[in-house]
Amino acid sequence: MKKMLGTKKPEAVYEFPEGDLEKIERLLKSEGDGKPEKDTEEVEQQPVIKSVEFDIKDPRNFIQLGIKGLYGNNVLISKFELPGYNHLNYEDTHIKLLRNKLYMPNPRIFMYFFNKIMQAQNDKAPLFNAENSKISEEDVMNIYLHLTKNHIAIYDPEKLGAWTWLNGKFSESDHGWGLETVIGLGNNKLLTKSENLEPCISNDCYVDFTNLNNQGLPNENAKSKIEKYNQGENVYYFYPRDGSVAGFIAYSGRAGLGCAWDPLFSDSGLGVFGCAEGA
């Protein structure tokens, strides 16, 4: 990761189709029916896990968030997307993470991370890695820029900025909207937990990323007063579609929290941040 950090202005900028994030979302948009994938198994309740073993390789590359993760312990998240996780669809990304003793951040964890980075950049609030050492201002600046514009290419050198899957699949039924979260791997199948989707904005728009529900999605009154992208002040939001999954992207035009991605999609620039627990 370190070799990708720096303060130089990127020489190459990958422009998505016509520089338009809506075009990206149309490429990513799911046309599924919202039914569970064949290699997933729903569990009625999250299992009680007394001891979860995680492997973060280098604790200096993970940030303490100060909130509980999927298994009820303090969660850590990687500073950037993990190397070697591009060219994978949603399900395969989950499987690789879990086999490597990590997991995919859900929107709640990721947007809390996003807000922590904004606070660290704007208010100089301290951040600490998994070794309990303070993260440098240079690192904070690089993460901030990576999350808000075309800065640092983790995978494809021509695709700068964050581009990550998030752990959440949306479905509509006669009972309303549901949110499915992957919580583990058993017998080579993804184990999932489903819950009702909390009220959130139901149209595509710029949103205030500090006004979120308990699942990490914008509250119904979170529409931004500014109807254009202001770096570090708002993000563009794509509301949930049936059968779609969540993700986050930042590029030269703006940053976006998407809930309309096709789970079968993959790309050279699309990867994932990693989570662990216990710090």
What is the pLDDT at residue 207?
Answer: 98
- Measured distance CA(98)–CA(150) in Å, rounded: 29
Q: Give pLDDT, residue 25.
A: 56
CA distance 46 to 194: 9
Question: Residue 57: is its pLDDT beyond 90?
Answer: no
Confidence check: pLDDT of 14 > 80:
no
Task: Indicate the range of 51-60, 109-118, 266-275 predicted with least confidence.
Answer: 51-60
Q: Considering the domain boundaries, does residue 238 fall inside one?
A: yes
Give the pLDDT of residue 225.
Answer: 93
Q: Average of pLDDT values for 112-124?
A: 98
Asked if residue 22 has pLDDT above 70, the reply is no
Q: Average of pLDDT values for 190-212?
A: 98
Is 108 domain-assigned? yes
- pLDDT (mean) for 216-231: 97
Give the residue-averaged pLDDT of 134-160: 97
3: left (phi over 0), alpha (psi -120 to 50) or beta: alpha
Quick one: average pLDDT of 180-191? 94
CA distances from 168 to 95, 138, 188 (A): 14, 31, 19
pLDDT value of position 10: 27
Q: Can you give 159-214 as a three-state secondary structure string?
A: CCCCEEEEEEEEEEECCEEEEEEEEEEECCEEEEEEEECCCCCCCCEEECCCCECC
**The two three-digit tokens of residue 256, written as one number:** 């976006």
* Residue 53 belongs to some domain of the structure: no
The confidence band for 26, taking pLDDT boundaries of 50, 70 and 90, is low
Q: What range does the domain containing 161 cover?
A: 18-46+59-124+156-277
pLDDT recorded at residue 55: 85
Instruction: Report residue 41's pLDDT band, with 50, 70 and 90 as the boundaries.
Output: low
How many CB atoms sit inside 10 A of residue 110's CB? 27
Asked if residue 241 is part of any domain, the answer here is yes
Number of compact structural domains in the chain: 1
Query: What pLDDT does residue 187 have?
Result: 87
* Position with higher pLDDT, 45 vs 237: 237
The answer to whether position 262 is within a domain reads yes
Assigned domain for 181 exists: yes
Please tell me the predicted confidence (pLDDT) of residue 6: 28
**Does residue 4 fall inside a structural domain?**
no
pLDDT surpassing 50 at residue 212: yes
Ordered alpha helix ranges (H), 13-170: 21-28, 90-99, 107-123, 137-148
Per the DSSP assignment, residues forming a β-bridge with 10 are none
Inform me whether the pLDDT recorded for 5 exceeds 90: no
Is the pLDDT confidence value at 70 over 50? yes
Residue 74 has pLDDT above 90, yes or no: yes
Instruction: Give the pLDDT band of residue 96 (cuts 50, 70, 90).
Output: very high
Query: Residues 2-15: what's their mean pLDDT?
Result: 28
In this prediction, residues 140-155 reach a mean pLDDT of: 98
- Mean pLDDT in the chain? 86
The answer to the question of residue 140 being in a domain is no
- Whether the full predicted model's pTM is greater than 0.95, yes or no, is no
